[in-house]
């Protein structure tokens, strides 16, 4: 039984349909990558998973139990298990790096302050920002902000980490430092759903790749198969374009 299972999810922004048939399943400890052209709905899938957008159809199962997306308590529970790092970091501009990472464990999970602080320091050191604890987001580079966002997500001790193109807004020389941080997590056995355009990285870390187009999941499979031998024309077309670079 898969840990997380999406079946035929549909969703729309207002009257504009964005997702029309998204299905995927994820095992505990697995790393899956979501790829596809810009605007295909990859971010939207992640937004559905953290309850920022209510799906209009389909079902979500977690540990085999169906999730009632209309129920606030269920959504709260979902958010306890899933942590997301957004494409655009979304750090709180009014808080220092340390406080950004500490705030949720401290105020939402009500853990003791010393524990929150020492864990935040440890996580920030782990992503290579041990010397930036008291800086503010607007004083950091994009790569540094992205790593703070990663530390902030980890401080929630999630069961699953959702990463949305965490390297797309970065300069090439900053990409490596963020990917290194993620590799470390992968080695620790963290369950992850990753949206990425870094095909080399996707191939390296993920056990499953899911290809999306026009709001649908078109094809999925192990990286070797999907990236080298796509079965569907859409996927072949996309992979061909992206690997030629």
Partner 1 sequence: MFRALQQLHEFATSYNLLLLLEGGARTLVLSAAGCVCGFVLGFALAVLRHTAAGWLLPARILGVVYVEMFRRIPFLVTLFLVFYAFQALGLDVPVFWVAVASTCVIGTAYLSEVVRAGFAAVPRAEWDAAATMNFSLLQTLRFVVVPQAWRVVVPPAFAFFLSFIKDSALASQIGVVELTFVGKIFNNRGLMPAIAFGSVLIAYFVISYPLARLGARLEGRLALSRAH
Ligand X SMILES: Nc1ncnc2c1ncn2[C@@H]1O[C@H](COP(=O)(O)OP(=O)(O)OP(=O)(O)O)[C@@H](O)[C@H]1O
Least separation in angstroms between residue 194's CB and Mg ion is 12
Query: What mask, x for binding partner 1 by CB under 8 A, covers residues 117 to 156?
Result: -------------------x-x-------------x---x
Binding of ligand X by 137 (CB under 6 A)? no
* Rounded Cα distance, 42 and 62, in Å: 20
Residue by residue, DSSP assigns 115-142 as: HHHHHHHHHHHHTT-TT-TT--GGGS-H
Contacting range for partner 1; rule: CB under 8 A; set: 24-32, 37-45, 96-104, 195-203: 96-104
- Give yes or no for a contact between 104 and 152, defined as CB atoms under 8 angstroms apart: yes
Binding of partner 1 by 103 (CB under 8 A)? yes
Binding of partner 1 by 79 (CB under 8 A)? yes
Binding of Mg ion by 43 (CB under 5 A)? yes
Q: Which positions from 182 through 221 interact with partner 1, judged by CB under 8 A?
A: none
Binding of ligand X by 33 (CB under 6 A)? no
By a kind-dependent CB cut-off of 5 to 8 A, residue 79 interacts, out of Mg ion, partner 1, ligand X, none, with partner 1
Least separation in angstroms between residue 117's CB and partner 1 is 16
Q: What is the DSSP letter of 67?
A: P
Binding of partner 1 by 113 (CB under 8 A)? no
Name the helix (H) or strand (E) containing 84.
strand 82-85
Least separation in angstroms between residue 211's CB and ligand X is 11
Least separation in angstroms between residue 213's CB and partner 1 is 25
- Give yes or no for a contact between 97 and 148, defined as CB atoms under 8 angstroms apart: yes
Query: CA 54 → CA 3, 10, 51, distances in Å?
Result: 20, 9, 6
Q: At 196, phi and psi to the nearest 5?
A: -155, 150
* Rounded Cα distance, 22 and 11, in Å: 9
Structural tokens at position 62: 């977690």
Q: Which residues pair with 85 in a beta bridge?
A: 163
Contacting range for ligand X; rule: CB under 6 A; set: 23-31, 42-50, 114-122, 218-226: 42-50
Residue 240 makes CB contacts below 8 A (sequence gap 6+) with none
Please identify, using beta-carbon distances, which residue of 87 and 220 lies nearer to partner 1.
87
* Rounded Cα distance, 57 and 9, in Å: 5
Please identify, using beta-carbon distances, which residue of 43 and 217 lies nearer to Mg ion.
43
* Residues near Mg ion (CB under 5 A): 43
* Residues near ligand X (CB under 6 A): 13, 16, 18, 36, 38-44, 87, 165
């Amino acid at each position: 039984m898969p840990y997380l299972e999406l079946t035929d999810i549909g969703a729309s922004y207002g009257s504009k349909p964005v997702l029309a048939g998204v299905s995927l399943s994820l095992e505990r400890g697995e790393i899956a990558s979501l790829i596809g052209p810009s605007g295909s709905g990859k971010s939207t899938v992640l937004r559905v998973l953290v309850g920022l957008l209510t799906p209009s159809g389909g079902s979500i199962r977690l540990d085999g139990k169906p999730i009632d997306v209309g129920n606030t308590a269920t959504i709260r529970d979902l958010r306890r298990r899933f942590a997301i790092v957004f494409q655009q970091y979304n750090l709180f501009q009014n808080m220092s790096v340390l406080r950004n990472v500490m705030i949720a464990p401290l105020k939402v999970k009500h853990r003791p302050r010393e524990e929150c602080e020492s864990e935040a320091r440890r996580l920030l050191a782990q992503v290579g920002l041990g010397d930036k604890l008291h800086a503010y987001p607007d004083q950091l580079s994009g790569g540094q902000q992205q790593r703070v966002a990663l530390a902030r997500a980890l401080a929630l001790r999630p069961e699953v980490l959702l990463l949305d193109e965490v390297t797309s807004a970065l300069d090439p020389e900053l990409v490596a430092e963020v990917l290194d941080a993620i590799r470390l997590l992968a080695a620790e056995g963290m369950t992850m759903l990753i949206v990425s355009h870094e095909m080399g990285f996707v191939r390296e870390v993920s056990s499953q790749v899911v290809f999306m187009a026009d709001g649908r999941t078109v094809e999925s499979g192990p990286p070797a198969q999907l990236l080298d031998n796509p079965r569907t024309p859409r996927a072949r077309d996309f992979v061909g374009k992206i690997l030629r670079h």
